[in-house]
């Protein structure tokens, strides 16, 4: 009965609200230098997050980063490289947490480092993926330091922004995968794995 009353009040007051969907990378490590290539330098790792949009129109997404304690981290905005295929309209202000996936496109990005798409060994992200904000080095308060190169991340989007056939299942509008590559110290052996990303809530 209480739920019915709340819904009735919202309708009576014409209150509008949006539902959102998400997906999550449970853990990443991205300690390799920018433009270090794949595989990375011995003793370091690179992480690549792949996202594909099933929306028939451009989809604006947001990203949050968390450390091992579950504390939200700040973000670092990325620099646009228009000549290298950056996506028009994706210019960010400091600590912005939004990015855009073009309609029906797939992007790849590194959570910590920026690979310059104009560099011969920096082709891991590409122009669009480079525009995804990176994990910051402080907590969301902007003061408390956290300079590690690991954590978890959540990508979210508004269900109502999804168009085309995917609008019928907006929680599946963005699908993703995670790739981890490490070069062992000393022997230089390369270890790597990848997996699909679980949907969020």
- β partners of residue 157: 21, 61
Q: What string of DSSP letters covers 125-151? A: SHHHHTTSPEEEEEETTSSSB---SEE
CA distance 6 to 101: 36
Residue range 67-120, pLDDT digits in tens: 999 999 998 876 554 444 444 444 444 447 888 899 999 999 999 988 877 777
Please report which confidence band the pLDDT of residue 123 belongs to, taking 50, 70 and 90 as the band edges. low
Please report which confidence band the pLDDT of residue 35 belongs to, taking 50, 70 and 90 as the band edges. confident
Tokens 């270090």 — which residue? 36
- β partners of residue 23: 155, 199
CA distance 101 to 78: 15
Q: What pLDDT, on the 0 to 100 scale, is given for residue 79? A: 58
User: Does residue 44 have a cis bond before it (omega within 30 degrees)?
Assistant: no
Residue range 158-196, pLDDT digits in tens: 999 999 999 999 999 999 999 999 998 778 799 999 999
């Amino acid at each position: 009965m209480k739920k019915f009353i709340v819904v009735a009040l919202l309708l009576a007051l014409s209150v509008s609200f949006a539902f959102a969907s998400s997906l999550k990378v449970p853990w990443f490590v991205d300690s390799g230098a920018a433009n270090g290539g794949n595989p990375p330098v011995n003793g370091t790792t690179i992480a690549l997050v792949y996202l594909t949009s099933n929306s028939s129109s451009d989809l604006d997404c947001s990203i949050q980063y968390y450390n091992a304690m579950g504390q939200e981290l700040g973000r670092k905005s990325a620099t646009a490289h228009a000549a290298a295929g950056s996506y028009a309209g994706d210019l960010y202000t400091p600590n912005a947490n939004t990015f855009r996936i073009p309609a029906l496109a797939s992007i790849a990005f590194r959570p910590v480092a920026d690979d310059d798409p104009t560099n011969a060994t920096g082709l891991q992200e590409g122009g669009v993926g480079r525009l995804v904000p990176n994990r910051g080095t402080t907590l969301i308060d902007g003061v408390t330091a956290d300079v590690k190169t690991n954590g978890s991340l959540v990508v979210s989007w508004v269900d109502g922004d999804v168009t085309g056939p995917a609008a019928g299942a907006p929680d599946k509008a963005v699908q993703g995968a995670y790739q981890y590559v490490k070069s062992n110290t000393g022997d230089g052996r390369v270890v790597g794995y990848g997996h699909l990303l679980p949907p969020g809530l």
